[in-house]
């Protein structure tokens, strides 16, 4: 029986390595048996939070006959970075814009032109996130798209909201137009130090 035991140091190393591999294989097998068969990978989630659902119904009641209401629209769908900015400023502007969303966008029913943006007041944001959001919304206003804020803690009536929305549908100097071969042209972000006096705006 002792003849089967390893003798040299190399034999002991090989024996230890084989034993370790066997133990690892047994551990993986036991772990898989203990975990059992995998369950369902996905479950359904709510598309709208209670506040967003209430805001959607309120907007539909207030102005749903005149404008189409689209929820959760990416800011990059209504804004593009100003190509005249320096490269570093363009990269920073795109970084600030990436992943950000507008809670609601109101569009003309005939041509789906963006007319207004609606944002829900979020008291849960940190100070840094709040400043970042305020800065982006300011850039949105400077690009010519008016923003209306709704507070879930103090909903206006449908008539009050309708009056506010209609008041913000003011004419502007110009609107984004489609150039031949380029498709739709979005309003652009301009940083304050690069913003000219004749900045293009929406024609509402």
Domain residue spans of the chain:
8-35, 50-194
Q: What is the pLDDT of residue 198?
A: 44
Match 């390893």 to its residue by tokens. 6
pLDDT reported for residue 103: 95
Phi-psi region of 102 (alpha: psi -120 to 50; beta: other; left: phi over 0): beta
Q: What is the Cα–Cα distance from 197 to 190, expressed in whole angstroms?
A: 11
Give residue 33's pLDDT.
73
pLDDT of residue 196: 46
Are residues 84 and 145 in contact, defined by beta-carbon separation less than 8 angstroms?
A: no
CA angle 167, 158, 118 (to 5 degrees): 55
- CA atoms of 172 and 170, how far apart (whole Å): 7
Contact residues for 189 (Cβ-Cβ < 8 A; gap 6+): 79, 80, 81, 82, 93, 97, 139, 143
- Cα torsion 93, 94, 95, 98: sign: positive
Helix axes 87-97, 127-142, angle to 10 degrees: 110
Query: Which helix H or strand E contains 10, and what residues bound it?
Result: helix 9-35
Three-class DSSP category at 91: helix
User: Which pairing describes strands 114-120 and 101-107: parallel, antiparallel, or unpaired?
Assistant: antiparallel
pLDDT of residue 25: 87
Q: Are 94 and 202 in contact (CB under 8 A)?
A: no
Q: What is the pLDDT of residue 172?
A: 45
pLDDT per residue of the chain (204 residues) written in tens, 0 to 9: 455 555 677 777 787 888 888 888 888 888 777 766 667 888 888 889 999 999 999 999 999 999 999 999 999 999 898 999 999 999 988 888 888 999 999 999 999 999 999 999 988 888 888 898 899 899 889 889 999 999 999 999 999 999 999 999 865 434 555 544 555 555 555 544 444 444 444 444
pLDDT score for 197: 45
Cα separation, 133 vs 120, in Å, equals: 12
CA-closest candidate to residue 89, choices 13, 188, 197, 165? 188
Specify the pLDDT at position 200. Answer: 41
What's the confidence (pLDDT) of residue 16?
83
């Amino acid at each position: 029986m002792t003849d089967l035991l390893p003798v040299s140091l190399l034999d002991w190393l090989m024996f230890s390595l084989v034993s370790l591999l066997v133990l690892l294989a047994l551990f993986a097998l036991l772990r898989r048996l203990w975990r059992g068969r995998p369950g369902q990978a996905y479950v359904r989630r709510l598309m709208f939070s209670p506040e967003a659902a209430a805001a959607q119904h309120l907007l539909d009641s207030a102005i749903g006959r005149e404008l189409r209401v689209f929820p959760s629209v990416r800011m990059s769908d209504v804004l593009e970075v100003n190509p005249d900015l320096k490269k570093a400023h363009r990269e920073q502007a795109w970084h600030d814009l990436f992943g950000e969303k507008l809670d609601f966008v109101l569009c003309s029913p005939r041509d789906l032109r963006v007319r207004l943006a609606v944002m829900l007041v979020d008291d849960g944001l940190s100070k840094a996130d709040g400043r970042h959001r305020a800065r982006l919304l300011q850039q949105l206003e400077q690009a010519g798209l008016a923003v209306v804020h709704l507070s879930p803690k103090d909903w206006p009536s449908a008539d009050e909201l309708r009056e506010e929305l209609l008041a913000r549908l003011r004419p502007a100097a110009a609107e984004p137009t489609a150039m031949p071969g380029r498709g739709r042209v979005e309003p652009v972000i301009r940083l304050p130090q690069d913003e000219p006096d004749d900045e293009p705006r929406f024609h509402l």
